[in-house]
């Protein structure tokens, strides 16, 4: 990953960007636990909300691949299809 380029794209310094990525990783670990719990409880609405949160946070950091995957997952949960990763 080119942290300098990604930081520049959102208009902050590289060190600040790296700090935000660390925070993103921490909160994403918590979100993934929430997502797992929602799936186990078959709560597709909650799973969709968590996926939406991951999508937004990753998009703010220009992490396009993560954002796109979270959006696909959110849509899958919203259509009440089995909420399995793909």
For residue 79, what pLDDT band results from cuts at 50, 70 and 90?
confident
- Six-digit token pair at 17? 């960007």
By the 8 A CB rule, do 44 and 35 touch? no
Q: What is the pLDDT of residue 86?
A: 47
pLDDT for res 80? 72
- Judged by DSSP in three states, 28 sits in helix
Using alpha carbons only, how large is the chain's radius of gyration in Å? 14
Where residue 81 falls among pLDDT bands split at 50, 70, 90?
Answer: low
Global pTM reads 0.81
Token code pair at residue 78 = 């919203």
Taking residues 32-41, what's their average pLDDT?
92
Whether 49 has a pLDDT exceeding 50, the answer reads yes
């Amino acid at each position: 990953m080119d942290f300098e380029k990604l930081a520049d794209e959102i208009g902050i310094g590289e060190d600040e960007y790296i700090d935000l990525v660390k925070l993103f990783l921490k909160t994403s670990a918590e979100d993934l636990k929430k997502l797992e719990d929602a799936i186990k409880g078959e709560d597709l609405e909650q799973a969709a909300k968590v996926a939406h949160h991951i999508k937004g946070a990753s998009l703010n950091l220009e992490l396009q691949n993560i954002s796109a995957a979270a959006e696909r997952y959110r849509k899958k949960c919203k259509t009440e299809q089995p909420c399995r990763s793909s």
